[in-house]
């Protein structure tokens, strides 16, 4: 995994600035701090397909009414990696924010790394490209930088995100995820997505894709719940061994939207994080984010509060096995063979 700093390194102009440090027997490639065209400093990780991903990401997983302003604030604060999804029902607003900051000269399109995701009702191969094209239309973009299979459980196609029968049981679909992946590869070949990856996949499911006959592109990343109280050490080690970047959502172990997180399992830092925060005169959130970056994990920061968005950008300068994001852990999702959380990792 190669960690590079700023757009200069992403363009291959880092040779004079770089040094190597060794971590766990592996060499990691770092570059000295540099700035983009507007003076913002940020680090990038080189993906296994040669593209570059900023290591700190804003995920505006917020109501439509707040997504526009949150995304604008994030870009103004220096975020260059924006993560959303069809499931979040706010890509139109996120797209308007990106277009607004391009129009006022704050950024160019190539400065923004945008991630979208394929929802479970579009796993059938013939539905993959139309789903991506719908997101692109809502975003007013010609391509996304990264497109992910959002969750490995398939549900029946249609407009309903989670279709249910008359008694409230989820209507699952039977889809070969290897066929879904082949359709994702075609989207990359068509230039609609620069990179492709997965989310919420366990080791067994990653191996299924990696061992697929005729594999053209392997996943560049796996986006999963990961925070100091659920550190995904085994999955992280496996992903590193396959040159797959681990991207952490719920990196602070909490979220404001109750439909995503069990309100009884939120944490505000815990004694260890709070002690470190006090020692280093930082917030527990910044300590948690820094912890992930030092492990080689790309971090999603979710907020629509201006002060917290700006604080989270400052991250640049104890595992207890606790999942807090329970949307995908609901018992209604747990039936099919592709449910990922039954395995250890």
DSSP 343: S
Rounded distance between C-alpha atoms, residue 210 and residue 224, angstroms: 18
Note if 291 is an active site residue: no
Sheet holding 52-54, edge to edge: 19-23, 26-30, 2-5, 43-46, 52-54
Rounded distance between C-alpha atoms, residue 300 and residue 298, angstroms: 7
DSSP 151: -
Cα-flanking dihedrals φ and ψ of residue 325, to 5°? Answer: -85, 105
Rounded distance between C-alpha atoms, residue 226 and residue 116, angstroms: 19
Check: CB of residue 122 under 8 Å from CB of residue 91.
no
Catalytic residue among 42, 88, 229, 291: 88
**Pairing label, strands 144-149, 193-199:** parallel
Cα-flanking dihedrals φ and ψ of residue 205, to 5°? Answer: -75, -35
Single out the residue of 307, 308, 304 nearest to residue 72, CA to CA. 304
What is the DSSP annotation of 223-250?
EEE-BTTB--HHHHHHHHHTT-EEEEES
Check: CB of residue 58 under 8 Å from CB of residue 70.
yes
* Collapsed DSSP state (helix, strand, coil) of residue 288: helix
Cite the active site residues. Answer: 88
């Amino acid at each position: 995994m190669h960690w590079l700093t700023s757009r200069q390194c992403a363009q291959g102009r880092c040779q004079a600035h770089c040094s190597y440090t060794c971590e766990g027997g592996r060499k990691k490639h770092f570059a000295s701090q540099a700035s983009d065209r507007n003076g913002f400093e940020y680090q990038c990780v080189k993906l296994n397909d040669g593209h570059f991903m900023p290591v700190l990401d804003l995920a505006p997983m917020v109501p439509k009414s707040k997504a526009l302003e949150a995304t604008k604030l994030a870009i103004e604060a220096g975020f260059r990696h924006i993560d959303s999804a069809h499931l979040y029902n706010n890509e139109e607003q996120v797209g308007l924010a990106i277009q607004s900051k391009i129009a006022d000269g704050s950024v160019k399109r190539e400065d923004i790394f945008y991630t979208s995701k394929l929802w479970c009702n579009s796993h059938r191969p013939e539905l993959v490209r139309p789903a991506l094209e719908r997101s692109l239309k809502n975003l007013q973009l010609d391509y996304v930088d990264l497109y992910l299979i959002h969750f490995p459980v398939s549900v029946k196609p249609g407009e309903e995100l989670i279709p249910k029968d008359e008694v409230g049981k989820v209507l699952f679909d039977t889809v070969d995820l290897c066929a879904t992946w082949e359709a994702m590869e075609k989207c990359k070949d068509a230039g609609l997505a620069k990179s492709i990856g997965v989310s919420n996949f366990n080791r067994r499911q990653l191996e299924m894709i990696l061992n697929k006959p005729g594999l053209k592109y392997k996943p560049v990343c796996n986006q999963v719940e990961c925070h100091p109280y659920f550190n995904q050490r085994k999955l992280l080690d496996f992903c590193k061994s396959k040159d797959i970047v681990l991207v952490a959502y719920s990196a602070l172990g909490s979220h404001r939207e109750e439909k995503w997180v069990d309100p009884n399992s939120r944490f505000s830092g815990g004694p260890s994080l709070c002690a470190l925060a006090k020692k280093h005169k930082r917030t527990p959130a910044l300590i948690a984010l820094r912890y992930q970056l030092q492990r080689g994990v790309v971090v999603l920061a979710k907020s629509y509060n201006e002060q917290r968005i700006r604080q989270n950008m400052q991250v640049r300068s104890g595992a207890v096995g606790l999942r807090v994001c329970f949307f995908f852990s609901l018992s209604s999702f747990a039936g099919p063979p592709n449910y990922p959380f039954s395995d250890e990792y």
